Structure 1
Amino acid sequence: MNEQRKDILGMLAEGKITVEEAEQLIAALERDQPPTAASPTARPKGKKYLRVVMEFLENGESSRLNVRVPLQLLRAGVQLAALIPAPALDKANAALDKSGVPIDLTQLKPEQLEALVEHLDEAIVELEQPDGHLRVFCE
């Protein structure tokens, strides 16, 4: 048994987390384990970053925005969201909705994010304008 699993079980035994939270953490650990070479389901490594590149003219000068977000950061965020208490999620959902972002954080599941990440390999968004262009892709 690895050290992280022992820590989770220790927190459960001490009453610091619930059984459901312990199950979620252990499931997250298992997902994050690198596949072994002998594993028949081992997949080749996919894309690691979500990139947003924008070049535009502003007051006659060329400007560039280049953002690279690790996909692992998105995965970690979803896993952490599973540990947020329901009342806090309700407040966050209300604030998002009030700001015009109708997202229900209680529906965000790690499995859904993995499906999204798999399909990001195929997705490229490009916008060409006379004063610049925008490109969103994975690498």
Structure 2
Amino acid sequence: MNEQRRDILDMLAEGKITADEAERLITALERTQPPAGTPAVRPKYLRVVMEINDEGESGRLNVRIPLQLLRAGVQLVALVPPKALDRANVELDKAGVPLDLKQLKPEQLEALVEHLDEAIVEMDMEPDGHLRVFCE
């Protein structure tokens, strides 16, 4: 229970307000607050950060991709002719990227973004590397 709701119930218990007034206050409070579990701010970027220190050489990758760009890209896939998608899938497969562009749907991306909102993917790479993927 949040503090404001508890304050309203305390005022009711102390007789400072009536049950009807408490109900109206709680209803108004629920309208102004986002549902529990929803983020206060929607993420705007997908961030990929990778650091590698291998045999005296070091490298760093720091990519920040606007989620709007990803959303637009998924929607644009619907405009690509099926034969072109087939060829793109073959090339992706050759490059070791097991991704089927025909299967991408905007609602899947939205579900992914929702789940990534609170998730952080971190991976330690051998011998001295680190990968981190998150939304911000």
- Do both proteins adopt the same fold according to a TM-score greater than 0.5, normalized to the shorter chain? yes
Which interval holds the TM-score relative to the shorter structure?
Answer: 0.5 to 0.7
Correspondence 1:70 to 2:60: no
AA partner of residue 136 (structure 1): V
1:71, distance to aligned residue in structure 2 (A)? 0.9
Unaligned runs of 5+ in 2: 1-33
Q: Which amino acid aligns with 1:52?
A: V
Deviation for aligned residue 1:48: 0.8
Counterpart in 2 of 1:100?
A: 96
Equivalence for 1:121: 117
- Give the corresponding residue for 2:131: 134
Give a deviation string over 1:6-34, Cα, whole Å, max 9, x none.
xxxxxxxxxxxxxxxxxxxxxxxxxxxxx
Identity of aligned residues (%): 76
Alpha carbons of structure 1 residues 67 and 87: separation in structure 2 relative to 1, 3 Å: same
Is residue 83 of structure 1 aligned with residue 79 of structure 2?
yes
Paired with 2:57 and 2:87, the residues of 1 have a C-alpha distance of: 43
Structure whose CA Rg is larger: 2
Once residues 92 and 58 of structure 2 are traced to their aligned partners in structure 1, the CA distance between those partners, rounded to angstroms, is 34
Residues 65 and 82 of structure 1, relative CA distance in 2, 3 Å threshold: same
RMSD between aligned alpha carbons?
2.7
Distance 1:135 1:66 in 2: 10
Residue 23 of structure 2 corresponds to residue 46 of structure 1: no
TM-score (normalizing by structure 1): 0.58
Hey, what's the Cα distance between the residues in 2 that align with 1:58 and 1:97?
A: 28
